[in-house]
Amino acid sequence: MESEDGPVAGLVSFFAGCGILDLGLEEAGFRPWLANELHAPFREAYIYARQRMGASQPVRGLYDGGFEAFLESDWRRSALLAAVGEAREATGLAGFVGGPPCPDFSIAGTQAGDQGVNGRLTQHYADLICEVQPDFFVMENVRGLWSTDRHMEFYLRAKRQLQAAGYHTTDRLLNTLNFGVPQDRWRVIVVGFLGKTFMDPPASHMARRFPWDSYSGGPEPFGLPWPGQEAFSEDSVRPAPPGVPQELTAEWWFRRNRVYGHANAGHFFQPRAALSRFRSIPEGNTGGKSFKRLHRWRYSPTAAYGNNEVHLHPYKARRLSVAEAMAVQSFPAGFELPGDLTLSDMFKTVGNAVPFVFARTVGQMLRQALSGDLPIGATDGKGSEAVAARRHKEDGLPLMVANGMANGTAAPGNHHVSVRKPVRGSLPGMPPPVVRDLFEAGLAV
């Protein structure tokens, strides 16, 4: 769904995994220019899935090295700067997108924070943004980044660093269920606009009036009369209950994605000694620490297929298949993983992914902001500063926001240095952008 003038912007994607965040942003009108993923099986999945869907690869391919090389290697950084310049020349704007690995911030993870091996990558991502200066950036991370005092302090320091480098930022803690994903999944989304790039409207307005609330429709889903637990009955049929949106349920997405005929339908962990345990857990019992059985007519708990979590099929005596896990993550039905990946890698890359429908929605918000079509009045009153201020009042958390930057504005003197008019067009020999509505094209049915 790109505009008549071509892609909205070129994207450099980091920590790309199997590419779902890129795919969602692509459908919103952006063009993946360069992607980076360290883990070879995930790179294989990224390339394979795009081939199966008939989508082209990123313009400058998929870089297979570690993220830190962009900071530590002069020639890698030069190549990155060249790719950013090329994307900017071709589309008018170049942005960074990425969700740094987050187990060190996760509530169920190590809690090592920014000192952990993975946690440090969030700081490195901020460092790279400040150094390369893309026109805008998007960062995705877990709720745990805001959930503890120590993690919030780190986050606010990193955000101040970005603001001092000239970025106007806005952020929000969002639940994917509010955006059409059949899953209770909280994620922090951070968006920044470089002050010296944008003047009409200025980057400060784009941040303060970012359309966070323009794409979540309908009633508050958590307050609806969702069904409770019911006795497990293998291969049973239960009608949809009244009063709940079926499109937010596991069963609706199983049917929509035709999971039982999907290429990854047979990819699931086989039970060994736990079969009797599988049968004993009621449909809809998702409160257990390990075994959780989905209810067919309810949304899924967070798709986290590790740390001893075992998600069971609503009406079959087995774990979820990879195809069913992808449906819970709202993947397009045409998205397939290569069969030679290990089951662990399959479930890890699916569980790590940003849900497709949510990624597309973030892309739509970003596209609207970049177009200058902004809501009337500020929309940034529910971000990290509001959370930090509330915690400061209730629990005494030191406020890490100072010097007039609490509202997400860039440091004085760093914005509106020069204004660059977008240049539309394509580089010679560049393959045509593959920005398709995956659903309308029949790839997701």
Q: How far apart are CA 8 and CA 92, in angstroms?
A: 8
Q: How far apart are CA 68 and CA 117, in angstroms?
A: 12
Q: How far apart are CA 365 and CA 163, in angstroms?
A: 21
Phi-psi domain of 306 (left: phi exceeds 0; alpha: psi -120 through 50; beta: other): beta
| 32, 46, 236, 355, 439 from 326: Cα distances, Å | 22, 14, 22, 9, 15
Q: How far is CA 6 from the centre of its chain?
A: 24
**DSSP, res 16:** -
Other Cβ atoms less than 10 A from the Cβ of 125: the count is 23
Alpha helix ranges (H) inside 148-242: 149-164, 203-208
Q: How far apart are CA 115 and CA 270, in angstroms?
A: 37
Q: Which of 20, 102, 145, 366 is labelled catalytic?
A: 102
Q: How far is CA 227 from the centre of its chain?
A: 28
Is 102 tagged catalytic?
A: yes
SS3 167: strand
| 83, 98, 424 from 89: Cα distances, Å | 10, 22, 8
- Measure the N-to-C terminal CA separation of the chain; round to a whole number of Å: 18
Contact 305, 311 (CB under 8 A): yes
Other Cβ atoms less than 10 A from the Cβ of 89: the count is 14
**DSSP, res 319:** B
Residue tagged 């990879």 (tokens): 322
Closest among 186, 181, 122 to 154, alpha carbons compared = 122
- Return phi, psi of residue 171, to 5°: -150, 160
Which helix (DSSP H) or strand (DSSP E) does residue 291 occupy?
strand 291-293
Q: How far apart are CA 148 and CA 391, in angstroms?
A: 10
Any idea how long the chain is? 445
Residue tagged 């195809």 (tokens): 323
Active site amino acids: 102
